Amino acid sequence: MPTAEVTFTRRPEAITITLRIAGQLVAESPSQESIARELQLRQVRTLSIENRYTTQLPTSARTLEQAGQVDFSEPMAALKLIAACAAFGDVALFRHPERRRKPRAVVPANQAPTRS
């Protein structure tokens, strides 16, 4: 399973998160949820943040506590990303169609089958 690396860049309008897998640029976004979704779609199980902290995905509350002790260049963005990665877990990527019970055919009383 692939390993992902994340870095942060401060820009005047927002902090941009850059996601790389195997050295290849995969995504850049200011949204932690977009990056977390990309990690989920690509079935990434190991995340390295700024080469300062590495964790297994999905993350947990314990992971968030440990990361709180790390000196990230953008601590709020890093912690929000870790929290977003806790939400996806092992869930289906696409919702299953609704399963509704088929309505039973209504048989008029005068046409009811008879027993022999």
Task: Give one word for 73, left, alpha or beta, with left for phi > 0 and alpha for psi -120 to 50.
Answer: alpha
Tens digit of each residue's pLDDT (9 = 90 or more) over 46-97: 999 999 999 999 999 999 999 999 999 999 999 999 999 987 655 554 455 5
State residue 44's pLDDT score.
92
Of 67, 94, 88, 86, nearest to 78 by C-alpha is 67
Domain ranges of the chain: 3-88
CA angle, corner 76, sides to 87 and 58, nearest 5?
25
pLDDT tens for each residue of 6-43: 999 999 989 999 999 999 999 999 999 999 999 999 98
Task: Tell me which amino acid residue 37 is.
Answer: R
